[in-house]
Each structure stands twice: as C-alpha cells, then as structure tokens.
Amino acid sequence: MSRIDFQTEPGRYRHWRLSVDGPVASLTMDVDSAGGLFGGYELKLNSYDLGVDIELHDAVQRLRFEHPQVRAVVLRSGKDNVFCAGANIRMLGRASHAHKVNFCKFTNETRCAIEDAGENSGQRYLAAVSGACAGGGYEIAMTAQHIMLVDDRRSAVSLPEMPLLAVLPGTGGLTRLTDKRRVRRDLADVFCSLEEGVRGKRAVEWRLVDEVVPPSRWDAAVRARALDLAALSDRPEAAQGIALPMLARAFSDEGIVYDHVRVVLDRPGRRATITVRGPSALPGDLAAIHAESAAFWPLAMARELDDAILHLRLNEPELGLLLLRTEGDPAAVLAADALLGEHEADWLVREIRLLLKRVLKRLDLTSRSLIALIEPGSCFAGTLAELAFAADRAVMFAGRRSGDPRPEATLSLSGLNFGTYPMSNGLTRLQTRFLGEADSVGRAQGAAGVALDAAAAEALGLITLAYDELDWDDEVRILLRERASFSADALTAMEANLRFAGPETMETRIFGRLTAWQNWVFQRPSAVGETGALKRYGTGLQPDYDPARV
C-alpha cells in the first residue's frame, strides 16, 4: 500500500469546494466517484473514504486560520437528490482491520474539530440537508450546531445501522444522536432500524433536525439562518487571515524530518522516536506573531507533530511504541507559552492554542504505547511538558551524564498546563493524573516556572521514575523490550482505559466505543466473514449473521 499523505490544499481537492461570501462560507461536498484513495471501488452518492475526510479536515483548519472573517459555515451537497450516503461500504469491505478503525477515528476527530470550531472559535456550522442523508452522512450533519432539512418528500435523514450494514453501531453516530441531539432512546432504536429514514415534521419532532423548510424558500432560508448564526460570533470582521502552506518534510526509510519535529523509525524494535525541538527564536509582540504567521513556532510545531502522529497511525501500524523526546532550551518554550498567554484574546493566538489542544488530544487517542524520556538537553516545559503528561510513563534522567555538555534534565510548568489543553474527558492532563488529589494539582501549580530536577519532579508526582547515569541505559532498554513483548491488543485495551480517568463526556464515549466496540464488531463474522454484511453488500444476497449473542 502506498503511503497515505494527510497534507493537501484547496487547489488539490477532488471532493470538496470551499467558497466564502462575507461572514458565511460554503463547504460543498461533491465527491469525485473515481477519486478513491485506493483502487477497486467507486465513491458513489457522495459516499466517502479517508481521502474525502483528509480534505474535509484540511478545509476546517483553513477556515479557522485563513478566513477569520467567516463566522458561519454551511455544509451542503453539490449533487442532486443526495446529501451524503456515508462511508463507502466497498472501501470498508476491502480495507484492513487497522485501516477501518483508524479511518473511523480520524473521521470522528475531524467532526470533533468542527464542533470545537463552533464552541470555542465562534465559527458555527449549519448543515443544509437536501436529498438522502444516510449513515455517516447524517453523522456529518450532526456535527453542525443547526440542521435544516428541505421538506420535499424525498429528503430524509437516516442512520440505517441495522437493516443495511450491521457493522458501525455504537460509535459516533449513535452517541451524538443521544448525547448531543437528545433523541429519546426508544425513538433512536426505531430510527436506526428504518432503512428509509425520517423526513419532514417527524424529523423535527424526534429532534433529528432543527427545522424543515419548503423548497420554495430553501436558498433564502439557509442564507438567513447562516447570517443568524454569524451574528452570534465574536470573530473579527476585518482581520487578515494567515496562509497555511504545505509542510516541508523529508521522508526516508529511517523516518521523517520536519523543521521542528523529527521521527526516527526502529522497525526491529517495533518503535518510533518523535523528537520535538523547542524554539530557537520568538517574535517580540503580537504584530510580530502575525507577521511570522504559520512560521510562529507553536503553530508550526503543532502542525508538524499532528502530521507525524497521523503518518505513524496509518502508515506504520506495527510500530506500537512511541518514544517522546524534546530538544532545546526550556526557557524558550516558557517564553513561547508566555506569548500565548499574554495575547490569548487575539483571534490567531486563540486558534493556535485550540490547535495545540486538538493535536495533544490526537496523541492521547493514538493506540500506541507512549513513553516520555526526559534527558539532559531536553525541554519538557509548559506546552511541551504536556507530552510527558500524555505519556503512559515518563522516565527522567537524574543528574548529568559523564562527558555530556548538555544541561541537566529539568521539567517546568507554565500557566498553560492548568486549563488550556483539556483532554477528551474535560480535565487537564494533570487533573487526570491526580484524580481525587486536588492538593497535588495545587502543589504542581505552585511550582510553575521553576526548573524541577528529577528529585523535585518525582516528589511532586510529575514523572513515573527517575534513574541516574548508572542505571539509565539498562532500565530504559528493559522497559522498551518489555513493552514490545506484550500483546498489542492487550496494550491498546489497557492504555485506552487508563488514559481517560474521570468523568465521561460525549468525546470519551465516542472514542472509547471506537476502541472497544468497533474493534470487536469489525472482526466478527457477521461483519467481515465471507457471508457477512461487508462481503455481501450490494450483491443482492442477504448477509448470514451469526445468531449467537456474545
């Protein structure tokens, strides 16, 4: 399989059209049926695969950074009589198990980014549904703050989990149906059993959509509702957006090199090392931040780290262990955090902070073991300390290494560690780490700005273990070999459970079910067996379901 690339830009889109008219943008889904990411299937009826979602993810990012004047985004279809038929079933039937699950995870992360734009960026989405809106197509619509459905007796929303597919219940669609749309459980049961879906007044009564509009008023009503949503936004009307250029990357058999991130692959050891370099120089004020635009270190680093995580997820499935390292001056990282804190009211700085939050969430949700190695010359400070707190274990070198001129390893906190980057559970990584220990969070906050050595960091509970020069090499080698020897399935289950202590949210429910239920359903014979739903879909033959309940 060729390498999947998550980098694109509007000039390369095959499936989406982005247009801007004052405060309102239109994001039109017009899928090229011959434009599948892999061969062997057609993307009929605005169905989608990972390639379609990669473009959507890119468009959502660009709307936030390149179009600050946009306050409302209309999601619509460019095809007659169909909004979106959902995930392409033939693609799912041909894809590997790992690709299916990672595709669904990326899809839901992109939908969460759309919801985040409405909740935190003042860029609200409106789904203008005309034609059939089924399965994952309705899930796309549900990401919007407001759903409009044309009342033409043909257009309907549906989530036909049971009569058609039998492979995707229990993930994003059903969770948004109950947790976000507040659809009653019994009505949701009926809805998911109806192949034809629900239309008109009943769709409003069941809370499946927010309003229905006759065809004669459709275009005017969509525009008016979009302007209503735009009026609620605090985004600046006259601000100049910044361009998001394609990332500079160099791929080789050994890994990937970016400007601020380096990935080294160790296939015999079944691991990859991600090293994030701290800033070498920073702008002096807000005007200079805008002048640097996409080159501003926190933004550039976040985009590179995001791309690296996605590359490893989809292209290196057998590298189950990610080592997280940093290089640079901790004081420079804290200075970057100070800029992000001082100018948090600025629209661009707000977007950078929100992007960093989403990238760190992406790391949390990656089904790989995460080990942070805090060594001499590292800069686990402020925002980059979040990498250590995201890790399953953080191991710190105590003291200095003989003959090594680099400074002793330290760990430093900033104000951004205490609320700027919540996890999917709504808590910070430190609150999650110290669940039920409010005093421990308070002690950590009291040490913000202090360069903590291994003993101090261990005393505050900020690291897992500390080793001096005598033990470091042997202990780290044993740790990595042991981790690589464990069952990958068991590690995924353990890590996904341990990373998200605390309260349940819609996000934790979605991604927890992706990890558990979807992993399970996608391997059962009712879905992927020779006579299962994915194999027989479109053949005219009924699937042969295993009747045994497990």
For a pLDDT cut of 70, what percent of the chain falls above it? 99
Contact predicate 265/319, CB 8 Å = yes
Q: For 36-48, what is each residue's pLDDT tens digit? A: 999 889 999 999 9
Domain that holds residue 295: 250-498
> Given a cut of 80, is residue 167 above it in pLDDT?
no
Distance of CA 461 to the CA centre of its chain: 28
Q: Name the domain boundary from 178, 195, 230.
A: 230
Give the model's confidence band at 100: pLDDT under 50 very low, under 70 low, under 90 confident, else very high: confident
Give kind and range of the element (H or E) at residue 27. Answer: strand 24-29
What is the Cα–Cα distance from 360 to 321, expressed in whole angstroms? Answer: 17
Contact predicate 171/518, CB 8 Å = yes
Three-class DSSP labels, 213-272 = ECHHHHHHHHHHHHHHHHCCCCCCCCCCCCCCCCCCCEEECCEEECCCEEEEEECCCCEE
Tell whether 20 is covered by a domain. Answer: yes
With CA atoms as reference, report the closest residue to 364 among 283, 294, 309.
309
pTM of the model: 0.95
Both 359 and 388 in one domain: the answer is yes
Both 179 and 295 in one domain: the answer is no
What pLDDT does residue 533 have?
82
Q: For 351-401, what is each residue's pLDDT tens digit? A: 999 999 999 999 999 999 999 999 999 999 999 999 999 999 999 999 999
Q: Name the domain boundary from 477, 498, 519.
A: 498
Q: For 258-314, what is each residue's pLDDT tens digit? A: 999 999 999 999 999 999 999 999 999 999 999 999 999 999 999 999 999 999 999
Q: For 47-91, what is each residue's pLDDT tens digit? A: 999 999 999 999 999 999 999 999 999 999 999 999 999 999 889
Contact predicate 315/106, CB 8 Å = no
What pLDDT does residue 1 have?
59
Tell whether 533 is covered by a domain. Answer: no
* Radius of gyration for the chain, computed over Cα atoms and rounded to the nearest angstrom: 24
> Given a cut of 60, is residue 191 above it in pLDDT?
yes
Mean pLDDT lowest among 88-102, 389-403, 514-528: 514-528
Q: For 410-446, what is each residue's pLDDT tens digit? A: 999 999 999 999 999 999 999 999 999 999 999 999 9
Both 265 and 187 in one domain: the answer is no
What is the Cα–Cα distance from 504 to 502, expressed in whole angstroms? Answer: 7
CATH number of the domain residue 354 falls in? 3.90.226.10
Tell whether 240 is covered by a domain. Answer: no
What sign does the CA torsion over 22, 26, 32, 36 have? positive
Both 466 and 423 in one domain: the answer is yes
Give the model's confidence band at 543: pLDDT under 50 very low, under 70 low, under 90 confident, else very high: confident
Q: Name the domain boundary from 198, 230, 262.
A: 230
What is the Cα–Cα distance from 129 to 137, expressed in whole angstroms? Answer: 10
> Given a cut of 60, is residue 26 above it in pLDDT?
yes
Average pLDDT over residues 518-543: 81
Mean pLDDT lowest among 142-146, 169-173, 190-194, 245-249: 169-173
**Starting from the edge strand earliest in sequence, which strands make up the sheet with 156-158, in order?**
82-84, 132-134, 156-158
Contact predicate 316/272, CB 8 Å = yes
Number of domain units in the chain: 2
- Tokens 């400007």 map to which residue? 259
Give the model's confidence band at 535: pLDDT under 50 very low, under 70 low, under 90 confident, else very high: confident
Give me the phi and psi of 515, to 5 degrees please. Answer: -65, -40
Q: What is the DSSP code string of 49-78? A: -HHHHHHHHHHHHHHHHH-TT--EEEEEES
